[in-house]
Amino acid sequence: MIYRFRHGIIGPLALLWLTATVASVVVGAVAWSRFSRSIDAAAEAAQLRESIDQLFSVLHDAGASERDYLLTGNATYREGYMNAERSFPAAFERLADSARHDPAGQSDIVELRRLVDLELADLRRAVEQRAAKGPGGLEQAASPDQPRTTMDRIREIIKRRHDDRRDLLSASGEGTRREMKWVHQLTWIAGLLGVGAGVFALYFYRVDYYQERGRRQLLEEKLHAEQSVREKSAFLANMSHEIRSPMNAILGFSELLEPDGLTPKQAQYVRAIRDSGASLLHLINDILDLSKLEAGKLELHPDPTDMRDSCQFLRTVFGQQAVMKSLQLQFELSSNLPRALMLDRLRLRQVLVNLLSNAIKFTERGHVKTCVSWESQEDGHSGTLLIDVEDSGIGIAAEELEEVFKPFVQAEAPQATEKEGTGIGLTIVQRLTELMGGSLTVNSEVGQGTAFHLRFPNVPVSGRLPVGDHAAPGGAVDFNDFAPATLLVVDDNPTNRAYMAGIFEKTHHHVRFANNGREALAALGQARPDVVLLDLRMPVMDGCTALAEIRKQARLASLPVIAVTASSKVGEEVELQRQFSGYIRKPFSRQTLFVALAQFLQRASPGNGVEQPNLGQTLKRISLPSPDQAAQWQKLAFELRRREAAEWPTLRDSLAVNETRAFAHNLFTLGQAAYCAPLATYAAALTTYADAYAISQMERHLAAFPKLVESIETALAQAQSQPV
């Protein structure tokens, strides 16, 4: 308020003060000029009156001397007259100079000089007659017949000059006095305004001083807060590294156990380990994402996204949880939904995973439904994506609706077990939604359920093939699909080295190990591997330093070096991807490693002596599902038959590589979710052929898909027919 008032008054006040000051200066200058001229005129008038008075006095003395001479005849009395004659020319010159600025005065002086000359001529004539004729000549010298004497007329001129007063006290000085009064008043006004402006300036200086001090304090607090954010980010990144390294071993070794022959109970234990590890990893990722969002460092990477595929992924992820709680997990998609939308697929998946996870967690009976609809714009190239996630759970009280979006805050639940979690899921959902240009609203009623409404306007429609929305699976990938290769694994953690050894234990690849960057350089000096998997944080010599030393050697300049790290510093991934040939973040799965190596290792082919996957043997080796897996295989068989009828015929006839790759990704996810190793192996092989554009092998593999489905159904039927 003070700030607006200050800026509102300071301009008019300064303008008023400047106007008054300029006006007072201008009026004062004009008045002073006139005042100066009035003073000069008054001085000239006074000097003129004084000179005329002196001239009249000399003329009067000349007349008196002339009368004395006429009466007495004494020649000495003629001196007065003679002095007058001698002094009058110079006196009139002085009069003319005094009246140079007074036209009326100049006219009077001319008239006065004429009259004085007449008077002097009369005096001269009288004196001459007296000198020539004696006393008898006085009567002839007189001129009594004249109505007015010359002296009377001279006196009138002198009186007129005395009456014409030019000074500041006369009536003619009224204008000058009025102007000087205006100057006085304006000077007071300008002075008061100047004092007022000074007071305001002092006040505003005081206000600005305190505001500047406040700004400095805010800046210091901001810098302190930014430093705290940097320290928090560094702490979280360090903790993330320390947690991710053992998580890599936990998830990795549990993944290596899955393909082996385990009893149902052992398999259940392994799945529990993997699920708990995945939950812990999800928690770590949420905390890091929240930190990046708060720091404004989280970036979006839009790519073609198929919401149908995303919903299928969500069905796969949460299907088992919904079945365990007897909930109906429903997905409804509008018929006009485009095939591919330009969205950040992973961040949208993160939003929906958080919403569905909460919905299932806080719903004991009823349903959890996701509705996806599309409002197309007139141009048809973009539109609004609407996603509603509804549940029939416990609901949220009206006074808590805003609180649930705050970090580490949860709505009150009737049971403590329903409050498990950190309370940051909805915070991340809201901030990610806003970052993606969308909005999030919520409606809820206690005991009736909750509905979250996502709205993403101006979403572009993509003409490119959408990328599959699947998690990085583990398990059944065959590294023998690559031609025999030598790998150098550089890691200071012996557990991580053991995990890598376990991955390649039954493959035809050769793996060498080094504990740090210096040992890696020594190993590279002995033999050049096909790929280097290089950890970053190591003693003696870290990964980045080792990479710089590797690139200094000409023979190793093109050697593929893949960064393997558990670090998660903001912006680090982009920089590492720029420096290294590839990038893998711990913990990683076999599939993630397979995809990373596929960029640098050659595919195996019949010509290089590598045995190709034998589909017939794969179908014969299908093991029977356990009782725990039977229900999942039942749903799997139904889904496979649906895909066989809907998608497979088109792929078989067209042999479209991109569509086949997407089809294989979907099958891989289904196989992992149902613990169906034959299906995952089939999908991995199909992906390999699609990536290598091996059309003949891809065609042969696609043709065998119905036999694979039939074999799965046969194994399921045999398992169900066996006595319990």
pLDDT in tens, 468-488: 544 344 445 778 888 889 999
- The predicted model gives 660-673 an average pLDDT of 84
When comparing pLDDT for 449 and 150, which is higher?
449
The pLDDT of residue 199 is: 73
The pLDDT of residue 374 is: 94
Lowest-pLDDT range of 77-81, 155-159, 667-671: 77-81
> Rounded mean pLDDT of the chain?
75
Instruction: Answer whether residue 489 shows pLDDT above 90.
Output: yes
pLDDT in tens, 545-566: 999 999 888 888 778 899 988 7
Lowest-pLDDT range of 90-94, 331-335, 680-684: 90-94
Instruction: Answer whether residue 311 shows pLDDT above 90.
Output: no
Domains in the chain, please, with CATH? Answer: 2-169 (no CATH), 299-460 (3.30.565.10), 479-598 (3.40.50.2300), 615-721 (1.20.120)
The pLDDT of residue 151 is: 73
- The predicted model gives 520-525 an average pLDDT of 92
Instruction: Answer whether residue 181 shows pLDDT above 90.
Output: no
What six digits make up the tokens of 560? 């593929």
Helices and strands in the chain: count of H runs, count of E runs: 22, 12
What single letter denotes the amino acid at residue 528?
A: R
The pLDDT of residue 332 is: 93
When comparing pLDDT for 423 and 295, which is higher?
295
* pLDDT tier, 586 (very low <50, low <70, confident <90, very high otherwise): confident
The pLDDT of residue 29 is: 67
When comparing pLDDT for 316 and 436, which is higher?
436
Instruction: Answer whether residue 264 shows pLDDT above 80.
Output: no
The pLDDT of residue 362 is: 87
When comparing pLDDT for 714 and 166, which is higher?
714
- Please count the CA atoms within 13 angstroms of the CA of 502 that sit on its side-chain side: 20
Instruction: Answer whether residue 154 shows pLDDT above 70.
Output: yes
- The residues, any chain, with a CB within 8 Å of residue 629's CB and separated by 6 or more, are 674, 675, 676
Q: Which residues of 118-151 are buried (b: 16+ CB within 10 A; e: fewer)?
A: ebbebbeebbebbeeeeeebeeebeeeeeeeebb
Instruction: Answer whether residue 351 shows pLDDT above 50.
Output: yes
Inter-residue contact 428 to 288 (CB < 8 Å): no
* pLDDT tier, 500 (very low <50, low <70, confident <90, very high otherwise): confident
Instruction: Answer whether residue 609 shows pLDDT above 60.
Output: no
| Distance, C-alpha 342 to centroid of its chain | 24
pLDDT in tens, 381-434: 889 999 999 999 888 877 776 666 665 455 554 444 444 444 566 777 888 888
* pLDDT tier, 506 (very low <50, low <70, confident <90, very high otherwise): confident
When comparing pLDDT for 104 and 441, which is higher?
441
CA distance 570 to 393: 37
* pLDDT tier, 456 (very low <50, low <70, confident <90, very high otherwise): very high
When comparing pLDDT for 118 and 138, which is higher?
118
- The predicted model gives 56-85 an average pLDDT of 68
pTM over 0.95: no
Instruction: Answer whether residue 369 shows pLDDT above 90.
Output: yes
Instruction: Give the largest Cα separation in the chain, rounded.
Output: 192
